[in-house]
A and B are shown apart, each in its own frame.
Chain A
Amino acid sequence: MAEVRLHDLTKRFAQTVAVSDLSLDIADGEFVVLLGPTGAGKTTTLRLVAGLEKPDSGRIEIAGHDVTALAPAERDVSFVFQQYSLYPHYTVYQNLAFPLRAPARRWATADIDRRVREVAALLRIESKLDNRATQLSGGEMQRVAIGRALVRTPAIYLMDEPLSSLDAKLREDLRIELKRIQRDLGATILFVTHDQIEAMTLADRIGVLSTGRLIQIGPPRTIYERPDNLYVARRLGSPQINVVAPDALPLADVPAGAHSAGIRPEDILLHCDDGIPAEVLSVEHLGVETVILLSLGETHLHTLLGSHPPLAPGSQVRIAVRPGAALFFDAAGNRIPSNLSEPTRETAYGT
């Protein structure tokens, strides 16, 4: 396990700048998740670290050594590919053993066998060890692909959406396993996903990417509560943050230069006697909670309530914003730091 540093990496493909001036320090034993829309350069970043692409400029260090010019085999990384590339002419067992049989490692057969079975048990594919890679279900293929990375203990694990074709339960279990492996082995992991829940629960730090740039990096809670700009604010949270004109709602302490205000749906309080009136446009039951679309004249707001609120479309409510919860952004979309202390979320009720 080792720390990994990326210095000002840039990678272009013809006209496209896939990764642009990206700098990122991943501490030893840290779990960093890259989050971003399609084409943001997540896969390219992982490929640069693995050595499958050469950066146009910039430097990569693994464990203090400059590896920018090294071949992938010399970098001691393992990679779970987005398109899980299982060798179709091998069985599951042979696929899992493949990295351990690499000339650089030369494990003893008995050790290989033990390790392969251990990882197969972890991923619940013991019974499929003798299947050919082509005779598997989609989810089993993906687990074999993860397994091929986990058999080794490299300097860093690179994982490109490794849980995307698994059912929710298995995904949750593997999330816990990954987290455990990371803690037990002190593994360094760079993980790519689209799923914000996955990012929130796994990451020590989340890096938000957009068109090749690292927009913000920080612990999940910071990214969620104190986004640097509107883009990051919109990337996290479901339903999305409400972005309104700062004067659309009575908000306290609107800083000078505020161009828009962002209010998370859960920060809108209904049934406040001293609130401003709003009309319910729609009520969407999602089981656990209910998403309510409100209209205040021109402005539309999403808000979130518990499972069965006694509200119907058309009814009138009075609303307020939890004091201090609003985020303010300037004309360029950057957040204006609040002059109070950072927003606090006190309990509504609880212990």
Chain B
Amino acid sequence: MSSGRTGTTAAHSVVDATSAGRRIAAVVVIAYALITMIPLVWILLTSFKSPPDSIAYPPKVVFEPTLEGYVNLFTTRSRQTPEYIESLGPPKTWYDALVRKRNMVITGPSRFADRYMNSVVIGFGSTFLAVALGTLAAYGFSRFRVPLKDDLLFFILSTRMMPPIAVAIPIYLMYRTLGLSDTALGMIILYTAVNVSLAVWLLKGFIDEIPREYEEAAVVDGYSRLQAFWKIVLPQARAGIAATAIFCLIFAWNEYAFALLLTSGEAQTAPPFIPLIIGEGGLDWPAVAAGTTLFLLPIVIFTVLLRNQLLRGITFGAVRK
């Protein structure tokens, strides 16, 4: 948003308009941030509520925090009579105690941990692959004379124009035949295929910005092209790679439709699983919220970790143009 809009246009008042504009912009940004944060904060709070608190009306903002949601998320439980619970002797762990207060006993772990691990393996695996392949392809497109370069680039991008779900049925059939249905490998391949086009395009832009002179200098200094790529291009493309990785991860991590269609057991990821967390007599909201919170965490951590890289990469090069 340009700040110039609020100011008058005479040469000298531009100065004032700018600072006033900045202040307004700051207020807008903060307000926007607050509004978008509310649902997230609400989910975080709900994950620490007890089931009755979570559905209380009017909604409770002040409540006694409990880890019940998280316990419910990771376990399966069955309802028992108080006598039976009594007969089991004193609870061995804090979570046993928590569950027994609701007349339940833990019968085993839930499948959430598995689903979560599936998400991690598939999400990060496909991100790594998409970025690795994308970087190499983008380097090739940026530096070499590729026949039909423009057409190829357009073709690669065009695979992204169609909503992926439009090819869901063919892929479903193909995967069944190939035995890739409901496997982590199948999902990694699928997400990589979808992401790699984005990765090539984004990274080509970044690599185009890195002057060739650096590689030429390295090559004259006695390095091979691949070594020059590794020592010179990669470090400078770090910012671009980080940004691309974040985009790819977000897609692979959040993807729902294919995950629902192609995975049911072994390779199911977290997104189709979370809504299935059903408690006694309806959805167990604190457990759902706990699942969602944990689900959000890796993306947040990943972004925060890469943020430094993102910023550090954006420095002026030392090439004279």
Contact = CB atoms under 8 A, between A and B. Distances in A.
* Any A–B CB pair closer than 8 Å: yes
Interface in B99-138: none
Contact of A87 (B214, B216, B315): B214
A85 interface: yes
Interface stretch (B77-85, B221-229, B280-288): B221-229
A136 B316 CA distance: 12
Chain A's interface size range is 20 to 34
B320 interface: yes
Interface centre among B213, B214, B221, B235, by most chain A C-beta atoms within 10 angstroms, is B221
Contact of A81 (B213, B222, B223, B227): B213
A65 interface: no
B217 A103 contact: no
Given A85-B217, A148-B221, A134 B315 contact: yes
Nearest to B215: A85
The listed residue with most A CB atoms (<10 A of its CB), out of B216, B218, B223, B320, is B320
A83 B319 contact: yes
A103 B224 contact: yes
Given A85-B211, A99-B222, A148 B318 contact: no
Interface in A202-252: none
A134 B223 contact: no
Nearest to A141: B318
Interface string A92-107: 0000001100111100
Given A89-B235, A89-B236, A136 B318 contact: yes
Contacts of A98: 218, 221
B220 interface: yes
Given A103-B227, A134-B315, A83 B220 contact: no
Contacts of B213: 81, 83, 85
Contacts of B317: 88, 134
Contacts of A84: 318-320
Counting chain B CB atoms within 10 Å of each CB, the highest count among A79, A102, A133, A136 belongs to A102
A79 B316 CA distance: 23
A338 B93 CA distance: 111
Contacts of B222: 73, 99, 102-105
Nearest to A71: B219
A60 B217 CA distance: 20
B92 interface: no
Interface string A151-163: 0100000000000
Nearest to A74: B222
Contacts of B321: 83
B226 to A, nearest CB: 11
Interface in B231-284: 232, 235-236
Interface residues on B, range: 20 to 34
A102 B221 contact: yes
Interface in A37-95: 50-52, 71-73, 77-79, 81, 83-89
A204 to B, nearest CB: 24
Given A88-B236, A88-B318, A133-B318, A78 B220 contact: yes
Nearest to B223: A102
Given A52-B216, A85-B214, A99 B221 contact: yes
B233 to A, nearest CB: 10
A81 B318 contact: no
Given A83-B213, A89-B236, A98-B218, A103 B223 contact: yes
Nearest to B313: A89
Contacts of B315: 88, 134
Contact of B219 (A72, A103, A134, A136): A72
Nearest to A105: B222
Contacts of B235: 89
Of B220, B224, B236, B318, most buried by chain A (CB within 10 Å of CB) is B220
Contact of A52 (B214, B220, B224, B319): B220
B220 A77 contact: yes
A5 to B, nearest CB: 19
Contacts of B211: 83, 85
Contact of B216 (A81, A102, A103, A148): A81
Given A52-B220, A73-B222, 17 more contacts: A51-B220, A52-B219, A72-B216, A72-B219, A73-B220, A83-B320, A84-B320, A85-B211, A85-B217, A85-B319, A87-B217, A89-B235, A98-B218, A98-B221, A103-B222, A134-B318, A138-B320
Nearest 7 A/B pairs, CB to CB:
A102-B222, A85-B213, A99-B221, A86-B318, A133-B318, A104-B222, A72-B219
28 contacts: A50-B220, A71-B224, A72-B219, A73-B220, A73-B222, A79-B220, A83-B211, A83-B319, A84-B320, A85-B211, A85-B216, A85-B319, A86-B318, A87-B214, A87-B318, A88-B317, A89-B236, A102-B222, A102-B223, A103-B223, A103-B227, A104-B222, A105-B222, A133-B318, A134-B318, A136-B318, A141-B318, A141-B320
Interface of B: 211, 213-214, 216-224, 227, 232, 235-236, 315-321
